[in-house]
Amino acid sequence: QRLEKERLEKERKEKKKQKEKERKLRLKKEGKLLSSKQKADLLRAKMSLQLLKESGQAVIGKTRKEGRLDKQDSAEDESKSDNISEPKDDDNNTEPLDDAEMVDEEEDQVEEEEFPDDWENIVIEDRKKKQQQQRQNAMENKKSSNKSTNDTTTGGSNKSSIDPDLSLSTSNPASRPPEKFRSPIICVLGHVDTGKTKLLDYIRKTHIQDNEAGGITQQIGATFVPPTAINEQCKHVKSKSELKIPGLLIIDTPGHESFSNLRSRGSSLCDIAILVIDIMHGLEKQTIESLNLLKSRKTPFVVALNKIDRLYEWRSNVRKDVEDLINSQQSNTKHEFNTLKQKVIVQLAEQSINAALFYENPDPRTYISLVPTSAHTGDGMGNLINLITHFTQTLMAKRINYLLDPLDATVLEVKAIPGLGTTIDVVLVNGKLREGDKIVLAGHDGPIVTQIRALLVPQPLKELRVKSPYEELRIVYGSVGVKIAAHDLEKAVAGLNLYVAHNEAELERLKTMCWNQFGSAMKAIKCSDKGVYVQASTLGALEALLQFLKDSKIPYSGVRIGPIAKRDVMKASIMLEHSPDNAAILAFDVKIDRDAQELADQLGVKIFMADIIYHLFDQFTAYKENLRKQRKEQNRHLAVFPCKLRILPNCIFNKRDPIVLGVHVEAGTIVSGTPISVPTKELDLIGRVTTIEHDHKTVDQAKTGDEVCIKIEHCTSDAPKLFGRHFDANDLLYSRITRESIDIMKEYFRDDLEKSDWQLMIELKKLFKIV
């Protein structure tokens, strides 16, 4: 009996060894054989992954291929099963089984350790079931409105259906759909040097410590401020609002020009604005422009009364609510603050706007809230952010509801990026964009249809050390700033909407819509026959520049969007014949080709380039003023100032050529070179004034009421005129004007003449019968 048992045991062990050997050979041949170390590593990785998932952190995948992550998971599950099943085989305490049972067990074990074909599908199905269960539990627990629930379900189902397709990094908030509200979009407006940039910088740099960005992400043309940073800013605010929005998107538009254009297109790009006013200076020119813009577009806004740290003996404390901080100041500081605050309220009232301090506001719907801030020290910044979040979540809740459809996206800028080619910066307000979507947008020569190659957002600040400055996503949801890489974007026009076409019929409709939008915008621009040539980088910048030129009474003969090429120089050179002063190109925020610059130098076309509209205007007006001065000097000898002179009888110093006598200026202005006439004696010209003296000192001119001595020299081919023979002290002397001299005076010396001088000019015109 015992010998029989030993024999059976021996045979079982030999069979087991043989089976193990065959299995290893087969796995080795298939490349699936794992060592103990590899198995341990996989198990460790699997456990770490599980811990991360349980803690709620998103897992950053390194691959974009569908199913590769699932394969890795299946390999890890396989290794785990190996580690669990192997000790069972090696356990000597198990009771001996008969041959049939042992063979079945070994076959089951081998099947379990091998990698079956349907393992991936099992893992994927299992994961989907878990996700579905989690979503159902979350929806049951969430007590919200039906709309909110529907939005959440839509977002969740979209997310699960594209799970392998989400992104390279699902940790980026742009790659996750909002639940109910999208991030409100904020624009910052104000006069130059009121602290707009400083205010933006303070919001961006919230709580930067040890290379940590405080969760603030830099986005294309925008700054995204997540809830963590908002809570950090608002923790010292007294009446802090509960945060329901996924963050704030602050648009970095260069001034109010682009903002004006985007708003005039009816775009919902900007939900609320911050108007920055320097408390020390009050309302200034651009502040009033911004106010009129906000009123015309009916955009809600709050006022940041900035630079309160400039108040005398101001004591800063960023850990205090700004109301308490103001009340804790010394009496003289409070008095100065109240005086300046009241001055701003009066100035706003002059612009038909009711305003009050935010903590004294009787009705936020009719009164604009003023928030005292200091972008330098940070005082009041928490109150400003809290007020914006409160307004957007309550008064503007309907406006910032997240909608998956229709798509609302605006092209902000067209840029060439090394390694990516020409890209477009887009602000996605509502909806979603996927990699591979067919997009339609306006171009200079017609609508552009292309496919999205890549959706890029910058890396979070703490990951700037990564070689690539952008993070690539498979899908993005509004509100977000995103850079789109695609073919054929060189001629894209910034400032208009971007659309996604889902089928051919829709594609044709969208192409027509884009072209009509661009056409109507260009038709609205009315050019004159003579004027400068204008170029800008975006449609918004072009419209703003043209409006500025119109207000400044500078005519324009042609416009174009995009960089300056040779054809633009050729068009501008047409003015060299008709209006040489206007043979110039005003280029706002665009580049110039080398060939175009060489051609402009050769033809004599002036090119003015600037990134700020006002600088461009200053350059051109300085150029025009310089030209005017040159022409004035060139035509000075032809200019004749109107004058009427009475001869002083006791001041006749020389009666022959040159005649020297004393005169009293009855009217007008006498200057050196003035031709003198005596109409009463029908003497058309007796000579020109060469010298004027007053109190024995030579002067350039004499005005009404002056008594001066003048020297008149003969300047014609006929015989010189003599005092006493041809005219006497009873005759009045007049300056001899002509049609040509009148035109010269109008063109170049208009500012040198007073109203009485022009009246004398009219009198002389009648006297000399000039038409």
Please confirm, yes or no, whether 487 is among the known catalytic residues. no
Q: Residue 485: phi, psi to the nearest 5?
A: -100, 130
In whole angstroms, what is the distance from residue 434 CA to residue 165 CA? 9
| Cis omega (within 30 of 0) for bond into 658 | yes
- Site of tokens 């409006």: 547
Token readout for 66 is: 């569908």
Is residue 554 within 8 A of residue 531, CB to CB? The reply is yes
H/E stretch holding 234: helix 227-234
- Please name which of 710, 653, 722, 661 lies closest in space to residue 686, comparing C-alpha atoms: 722
H/E stretch holding 566: helix 566-573
Token readout for 342 is: 């009241």
Token readout for 329 is: 């100041």
CB atoms within 10 A of CB 527: 14
Angle, helices 119-141 vs 146-161, to 10°: value is 170
| Cis omega (within 30 of 0) for bond into 479 | yes
Chain-centre distance of CA 366, in angstroms? 29
Region label for 566, one of left (φ > 0), alpha (ψ between -120 and 50) or beta (otherwise): alpha
For 212, the 3-state DSSP assignment is strand
In whole angstroms, what is the distance from residue 647 CA to residue 678 CA? 12
State the amino acid at position 587 in one-letter form: A
> Of 191, 236, 256, 390, which one is the catalytic site residue?
256
The 3 state secondary structure assigned to 615-669 is HHHHHHHHHHHHHHHHHHHHCHHHCCCCEEEEEEEEEEEECCCCEEEEEEEEEEE
In whole angstroms, what is the distance from residue 444 CA to residue 711 CA? 67
DSSP-derived letter for residue 144 is -
For 45, the 3-state DSSP assignment is helix
What pairing do the DSSP bridges indicate for beta strands 675-678 and 732-735?
A: antiparallel
Q: Which residues contact 438 (CB under 8 A, 6 or more apart)?
A: 449, 450, 451, 500, 501, 502, 507
Is residue 136 within 8 A of residue 128, CB to CB? The reply is no
For 350, the 3-state DSSP assignment is helix
State the amino acid at position 636 in one-letter form: R
H/E stretch holding 384: helix 381-394
**Which burial class, exposed, middle or buried, applies to 91 when counting CB atoms under 10 A from its CB (0-12, 13-18, 19+)?**
exposed
- The residues annotated as belonging to the active site are 256
